[in-house]
Amino acid sequence: MNKLVITAAIVGAEVSRQDNPNLPLNPEEIAQAAIAAGEAGAAIIHLHARDSNGTPTQSKEVFRRTMDLIKRYSKVILQVSTGGTVGMTLAERLQPISLRPEMATLTTGSVNFGQAVFCNSPEDIRSLALELAAYGVKPEVEVFEVGMINNAWELVQKGVLQLPLHFDLVLGVPGGIPATAKNLLHLVESLPKDSSWSVAGIGRHELPLSILAISMGGHVRVGFEDNVYYAKGELAQSNAQLVQRIARLAKEMGREVASPDEARQLLGLGH
C-alpha cells in the first residue's frame, strides 16, 4: 500500500481553550504545535490563525508570521484554510493565498455547521479555485456532504480545477454527512478516478474513521480542529499526541508514514 499522509489540523476556528486548555492560539504556540506534530509524523499542517484575543482571523500578517516560524524549523507542508470561520467574507478568507502556501483548502459547497451555515456559493467556489490556481496553490477539496464531490467534478469539466484532485472527507460535523463506515465508502466510491483522499472524523469519530482510512489506502487528518479528546473523558495533551497514535497504528497495520517530501511526491506538489 502507499505511504500514509497524516495531516494535523492543530487549531481550527471553532474550538477554544474552554474545550481544551492545551489549544495553541498565538503564532508562536501554533508554530510550536505544528513543529511537534511534524516530528510526530504529520506531513501536512492544516492551518488556521487567531488574533491576539484568540478570535479567528484570516490576516495575512498573522499567517505570514506563523508560517515563517514553522518553516524555520520544519519541512512540513503548510496548508492554509480558506474556510476561516462561518460568516467571513470571501475577501477575508482569501487573504493568506497570496503568501503562496503549498496547499489551501477549497470547500465545494454549502453546509449547515452546528447552528450556523458555512456558505460557499457557486460563484465564490469558482473565485476561490481561480485564486488558488493564480498563485500556484494546490487545493485540498473539503467535502462535508456528498454533493460537494460533484460540484468539484463540474469545476474540473469547466477547466477551473485540474485532475488529479486531493480530497479531505469530513464526516460528523453536526449538519453535514454523518460519520459512518457506509457513508465513508460512498464518498470514496464517488470520487473522480485517481483522486487521493484523507478522512477527518469529527469528535469521537476521529479514531474509528482514521483506522478505516488506514485500512482502505486513504490518508488521515487528526487534530484539535476536529477533536480535542484522546479518549472518552480524557482531553488530548497536544496535537502531537493525536498524530503519534495514528503513526503508531499505521505501523502496526503495515503502512509506513510518509515524510513531508514523500507526501509532496504523492500529492504532485511542485516545490
**Which of 81, 107, 196, 239 touches Zn ion (CB under 5 A)?**
81
Residue 58 touches Zn ion, criterion: CB under 5 A: no
Q: Residue of minimal CB distance from ligand KMH?
A: 83
Residue 81 binds ligand KMH (CB under 6 A): yes
User: Is residue 229 classed exposed, middle or buried when 0-12, 13-18 and 19+ CB atoms within 10 A define those classes?
Assistant: middle
Please list the residues that pair with 49 across neighbouring strands.
Answer: 57
Half-sphere exposure of 95 (CA within 13 A, CB side): 15
Q: Using alpha carbons, select from 135, 68, 64 the residue that is nearest to residue 103.
A: 135
| CB nearer ligand KMH, residue 81 or residue 210 | 81
Q: What part of residues 9-38 is at the interface with ligand KMH (CB under 6 A)?
A: 13-14
Q: Which is nearer to ligand KMH, 109 or 244 (CB)?
A: 109
β-pairing, 56-57 with 49-50?
Answer: antiparallel
Q: How far apart are CA 102 and CA 125, in angstroms?
A: 19
Q: Which of 142, 145, 206, 226 binds ligand KMH (CB under 6 A)?
A: 142
3-state DSSP assignment of residue 170: strand
* Nearest to ligand KMH of 85, 238 (CB atom): 85
Piece in contact with ligand KMH (CB under 6 A), picked from 31-39, 62-70, 76-84, 184-192: 76-84
Pairing of strands 219-222, 6-9: parallel
Residue with cell 460519520: 179
> What contacts 234, CB < 8 A, 6 or more positions away?
none
User: Distance of CA 7 to CAs 132, 133, 171, 233, 260, Å?
Assistant: 20, 22, 15, 24, 10
Per CB under 6 A, does 82 bind ligand KMH? Answer: yes
Binding site partner of 79, from Zn ion, ligand KMH, none, Cβ cut-off 5-8 A by kind: none
If the CB atoms of residues 81 and 120 are measured against Zn ion, the closer one turns out to be 81
- Three-state DSSP class for 99? helix
One of 113, 153, 167, 224 touching ligand KMH (CB under 6 A): 113
Give CA–CA dist 15/28, Å, rounded.
Answer: 18
Q: If binding is defined by CB under 6 A, does position 119 make contact with ligand KMH? A: no
Is residue 132 close enough to count as binding ligand KMH by CB under 6 A? no
**Closest to ligand KMH by CB, 83 or 218:** 83
Of the pair 86, 216, the CB lying nearest ligand KMH is at: 86
State the nearest-atom distance from the C-beta of 225 to ligand KMH, in Å: 7
* Beta-ladder partners of 118: 111
Residues making contact with ligand KMH (CB under 6 A): 13-14, 81-83, 85-86, 105, 107, 113, 118, 142
